[in-house]
Chains A and B, each alone.
Chain A
Amino acid sequence: MKNLILLALLAVTLQAAQAQNRWFTKEGYVRFYSHTPLEDIEAKNYQVNSLVDFSTGDMAFSMLMKSFQFEKALMEEHFNEKYVESAKFPKSTFEGKYIASSPIDPRKAGEHKVTVRGKLTIHGVTRDVETTGTFKADGNGTVIGTAVFTVKVADYEIKVPGVVKDNIAESIEITVKTEYKPM
């Protein structure tokens, strides 16, 4: 029994230690950009939630589609109403892992190139994505994660009507910038 209690305590402590390597933000930034000869469309979301666990390499992102801000209010309305159907699919999420060449100590200043792999869910459709990114730690309790990648609109079953087909690019560039703080 005594050993068992010790074991249980160990497990809980381990978990606590693990948790210390979890870094978090509620104000991450995700931008998407669509370029066509006719029109450039850009939307920004400043309310992205993200967690990264530097001991396991696990990462997660979650954001509300309605929090994307467009230059034109009408674009925002059409985006939510017709394209990503925010009422039906309010959130977009990512869950995956980063792979670094050597373990990252988020408390030590330094820049680390990583490959991120995981599942991206938009419009209720989940696809595997892979991209490269960086973690930049300032050594003072802030880690900035950045990544740029592209997704195809058609992959996520987002229907673009014929009349605006020339205004919306087939591939959308997604920029992610998150400033993590320890949990």
Chain B
Amino acid sequence: MRKSLQIALLLFAFASFPARAQDLLDMLNETEEEPVEYAFATFKTTRLINGHSIETNSGKELLFLISHRFGRINGGASEFFGLDNATIRLGLEYGITDRLGVGVGRSSFEKLYDGFVKYKVLQQKSGAENFPVTVTLFASTAIKTLEWPEPERENYFSSRMYYTFQALVARKFSEGFSLQLSPTLVHRNLVDSLADANDVFALGIGARQKITGSLSVNAEYFYVIPGQISSRLNGEEVQNALSIGLDLETGGHVFQLHMTNSRGMVEKLFVTESTGNWLDGDIHFGFNISRVFSLGSSEGKGEKKKKGDDS
């Protein structure tokens, strides 16, 4: 008994004897507080394919977005598989803060102007604090400036207006895989017939899987709750929008190449007016190219971080 006590005492004394470098490192690790890890780069850019992703631009960053959608690939060789017939949207997006962004765009299709506000309300985080998803609220207005189809009747400016509201909810499950749900409401001031709803509810679902650090595969689907849209557009039934694409990132650019059954690049167009049928080959090739410009230095942000104010 006495002997074991002696040994224990000795062990105790010498176990805590002067530390070596390895132990210093261990000591450092012990003193470190567990940080809050915010999920970042859930998606490569502010768009998944057609729809917005939860990502917003960082504060003082300007994003220039050029998007094209071509004609249907089943147009055949004479239409050069749709490439003869391009529609374009030019857009600018600006990060007022790391969470609040605004943007404007102009589409050649329907001579449509759009503007939006996006705010990242909640951020996915782990470590010292936990939250499972990132939530971004999105609101946009679109104005169709085509000439009135029936100029002889009384037309109101408000009839040109469309509004979209989305609550984008996404989770980065792993470094490679992210999933987003996008409950969507598109309000149309003027619809074709009484049987068409002014408020169209839809649920978007999108995902990305990274292949390498700079390349990912994306998919996106907008399910319109049935019974809301009955009018045909140019003799075709309205379809749910389905898109599949690749994201390629090169420094400040992101190239998104995709196949979609939608023509338009604004919510009211792709959620409520997609008429292509994938099974019939009514598929449009398209791309988004975005370029980010830093208009201010984020040095000041560092000081904030230093004080532990990460948001």
Q: Return chain B residues, CB-CB under 8 Å to A47.
A: 306
Once the chains bind, are B41 and A164 in contact (CB under 8 Å)? Answer: no
Once the chains bind, are B24 and A59 in contact (CB under 8 Å)? Answer: yes
Once the chains bind, are A5 and B9 in contact (CB under 8 Å)? Answer: yes
Q: Return chain A residues, CB-CB under 8 Å to B252.
A: 74
With A46-B306, A82-B214: A64-B58 Cβ-Cβ less than 8 Å: no
Bound CA–CA A157/B65 (angstroms)? 34
Residue interface mask A48-69, B partner, CB < 8 A = 1: 0111010110111110101101
With A15-B17, A81-B41: A44-B302 Cβ-Cβ less than 8 Å: yes
Does A163 reach chain B (CB closer than 8 Å)? Answer: yes
Bound CA–CA A47/B24 (angstroms)? 17
Does A11 reach chain B (CB closer than 8 Å)? Answer: yes
Once the chains bind, are B40 and A8 in contact (CB under 8 Å)? Answer: no
With A18-B18, A50-B28, A66-B35: A7-B13 Cβ-Cβ less than 8 Å: yes
Once the chains bind, are B250 and A163 in contact (CB under 8 Å)? Answer: yes
Once the chains bind, are A58 and B294 in contact (CB under 8 Å)? Answer: no
Once the chains bind, are B294 and A69 in contact (CB under 8 Å)? Answer: no
Once the chains bind, are A77 and B41 in contact (CB under 8 Å)? Answer: yes
With A15-B18, A69-B301: A60-B24 Cβ-Cβ less than 8 Å: yes
CB-CB nearest in chain A for B254? A74
CB-CB nearest in chain B for A81? B41
CB-CB nearest in chain B for A72? B294
Once the chains bind, are B14 and A71 in contact (CB under 8 Å)? Answer: no
Does B234 reach chain A (CB closer than 8 Å)? Answer: no
Q: Return chain A residues, CB-CB under 8 Å to B156.
A: none
Q: Return chain A residues, CB-CB under 8 Å to B294.
A: 71-74
Once the chains bind, are A51 and B28 in contact (CB under 8 Å)? Answer: yes
Once the chains bind, are A49 and B32 in contact (CB under 8 Å)? Answer: yes
Q: Return chain A residues, CB-CB under 8 Å to B249.
A: 78
Does B22 reach chain A (CB closer than 8 Å)? Answer: yes
Minimum CB–CB distance from B261 to chain A (whole Å) comes to: 31
Bound CA–CA A172/B29 (angstroms)? 26
CB-CB nearest in chain B for A82? B213
Q: Return chain B residues, CB-CB under 8 Å to A26.
A: 31
Bound CA–CA A74/B252 (angstroms)? 7
Minimum CB–CB distance from B57 to chain A (whole Å) comes to: 8
Once the chains bind, are B40 and A77 in contact (CB under 8 Å)? Answer: yes
Does B153 reach chain A (CB closer than 8 Å)? Answer: no
With A49-B31, A74-B58, A81-B41: A4-B18 Cβ-Cβ less than 8 Å: no
CB-CB nearest in chain A for B298? A73
**Selected contact of B298 from candidates A53, A71, A163, CB within 8 Å:** A71
Q: Return chain A residues, CB-CB under 8 Å to B121.
A: none
* B-contacting residues, A2-24, CB 8 Å: 4-5, 7-9, 11-12, 14-15, 18, 22, 24
Once the chains bind, are A46 and B35 in contact (CB under 8 Å)? Answer: no
Minimum CB–CB distance from A1 to chain B (whole Å) comes to: 7
Does A118 reach chain B (CB closer than 8 Å)? Answer: yes
Does B25 reach chain A (CB closer than 8 Å)? Answer: yes
Does A95 reach chain B (CB closer than 8 Å)? Answer: yes
CB-CB nearest in chain A for B16? A15
Does A177 reach chain B (CB closer than 8 Å)? Answer: no
Q: Return chain B residues, CB-CB under 8 Å to A14.
A: 17-18
Does B19 reach chain A (CB closer than 8 Å)? Answer: yes
CB-CB nearest in chain B for A159? B213
Does A70 reach chain B (CB closer than 8 Å)? Answer: yes
12 sample A-B contacts, Cβ–Cβ < 8 Å, listed by A number: A11-B13, A11-B14, A26-B31, A44-B302, A66-B35, A73-B58, A80-B40, A80-B41, A95-B24, A161-B214, A163-B251, A164-B250
A-side interface residues toward B, CB under 8 Å?
1, 4-5, 7-9, 11-12, 14-15, 18, 22, 24, 26-27, 44, 46-47, 49-51, 53, 55-56, 58-62, 64, 66-67, 69-74, 77-78, 80-82, 85, 87-88, 93, 95-97, 118, 159, 161, 163-164, 167
Given contacts A22-B24, A161-B213, 17 further A-B contacts (CB under 8 A): A1-B6, A4-B6, A7-B10, A12-B16, A46-B302, A49-B31, A51-B27, A71-B298, A72-B61, A73-B294, A78-B249, A78-B251, A82-B214, A95-B21, A95-B25, A118-B21, A159-B213
